[in-house]
Amino acid sequence: MQNNIVTIEGLSHRYSKDWAIQDISFGINRQGILGLLGSNGAGKSTTMNILCGVLSQTEGKVLIEGINMREQPELAKRHIGFLPQNAPLYLEQTVDEYLTYCAHIRLLDKRDVKPAVEAVKERCGVAHFSKRLIGNLSGGYRQRVGIAQAIIHKPLLVVLDEPTNGLDPNQILEVRQLIKEIATDRAVIFSSHILSEIQATCQDIIMIEGGRIVFKDSLDAFNNYIEPDSLVTTMENPPPKATLLAIPGVRQVDFLADKILRMHFDPHADIAEHIVVMSVQQGWRLKEITLEKSSLDAIFAQLSNKKPKPGNPS
């Protein structure tokens, strides 16, 4: 048995004269959720479209269960379920009609179609909407139907492109939980440009920026890798901004409210300890202090200048 369900080697793709991605290589194990993180236009969708056989790469190789996607696309695609950013739903069909259609185009045996439809409706929580038109469903339930079509043929790999985009907070929580349940018996790729979505859902992260991998490791390693660059404090008697700016390493001070302020500081500067000591000495009456991680843009900038760690995620 292959250790990885997916192996990608030296993947590059060019649109006209511009390279969308260059030298992308990674492997995916058979279970769990891999987060594909990157800003809009970083190359995530190009990578996923090639991985799923929607787009033919300029260079490199994609193996699904050891099958070369370029050489045997139909065979390789049997192992993949794909939910693109714009879910391929037919709004004029009912949930039952649509999922039955999807089962047929996935070449399920006729005897297996109805049981497969019932199983994914139950698993994705849409069984009570079987006869409802998809166009009359909320955004969250449409996304559930989209996920159902991606798993109806029991693929070994499920690829989800921005699956929580446009959903309200409650719907996001529900879809996150559904994805985690699906990942208990298969591999899932979860793509997003929102860092908090990746952190809340994934065990491993690959970050793409400018068409190249800039980080490849576990979520824990990612969280430890990024150092805080600001802190937020609440003080009963906050000092003037000039007093805080005089502290070595403090670059910027912003008052968020009368007693709440944010301080940006240089890397490796031990600002928190200075603030605590000075608060006691000068009577600022510090009530709360919280270190903040870098913004996503700052993380991209930081990691783009560092070599990604080797090894397969998950």
Q: What is the pLDDT along the chain (314 residues), one digit of tens a residue?
A: 457 899 999 999 999 889 999 999 999 988 899 999 988 888 999 999 999 999 999 999 999 999 999 999 999 999 999 999 888 899 999 999 999 999 999 999 999 999 999 999 999 999 999 999 999 999 999 999 999 999 999 999 999 999 998 888 888 899 999 999 999 989 999 999 888 888 889 999 999 988 999 899 998 888 776 666 788 999 999 999 999 999 988 989 999 988 999 998 886 677 888 899 999 999 999 999 987 766 555 666 666 555 444 455 64
Q: Is residue 130 part of a domain?
A: yes
Residue 165 and residue 53 share a domain: yes
- The enclosing H or E element of 99 equals helix 95-105
d(CA 256, CA 233): 10
Q: What is the CATH number of the domain that holds 270?
A: 3.30.70.1560
Q: Is residue 234 part of a domain?
A: yes
Residue 251 and residue 113 share a domain: no
Q: Are 260 and 237 in contact (CB under 8 A)?
A: no
Q: Let me know how long the chain is.
A: 314
Q: Are 95 and 50 in contact (CB under 8 A)?
A: no
Residue 239 lies in domain: 227-293
Residue 21 and residue 108 share a domain: yes
Q: What is the CATH number of the domain that holds 43?
A: 3.40.50.300
CB atoms within 10 A of CB 311: 11
d(CA 226, CA 181): 29
CA 302 to chain centre: 19
Q: Is residue 168 part of a domain?
A: yes
Residue 162 and residue 61 share a domain: yes
d(CA 46, CA 26): 15
The pLDDT score that the predictor gives to residue 301 is: 62
Q: Is residue 301 part of a domain?
A: no
The pLDDT score that the predictor gives to residue 295 is: 57
Spatial neighbors of 13 by CB under 8 A, at least 6 apart, are 19, 20, 21, 46, 50, 55, 57, 58, 59
Do the strands 157-161 and 80-83 form a parallel or antiparallel pair, or are they unpaired? parallel
Residue 84 and residue 28 share a domain: yes
Question: Of the candidates 193, 224, 255, which is a domain's last residue?
Answer: 224
d(CA 27, CA 21): 17
CB atoms within 10 A of CB 307: 9
Residue 213 and residue 129 share a domain: yes
Residue 147 and residue 23 share a domain: yes
Q: How many domains is the chain partitioned into structurally?
A: 2
Q: Are 243 and 253 in contact (CB under 8 A)?
A: no
Residue 65 and residue 29 share a domain: yes
Residue 133 and residue 269 share a domain: no
pTM: predicted TM-score of the whole model, two decimal places: 0.75
Residue 153 and residue 164 share a domain: yes
Residue 156 and residue 25 share a domain: yes
Residue 112 and residue 189 share a domain: yes
Q: Is residue 166 part of a domain?
A: yes
Q: Are 38 and 190 in contact (CB under 8 A)?
A: no
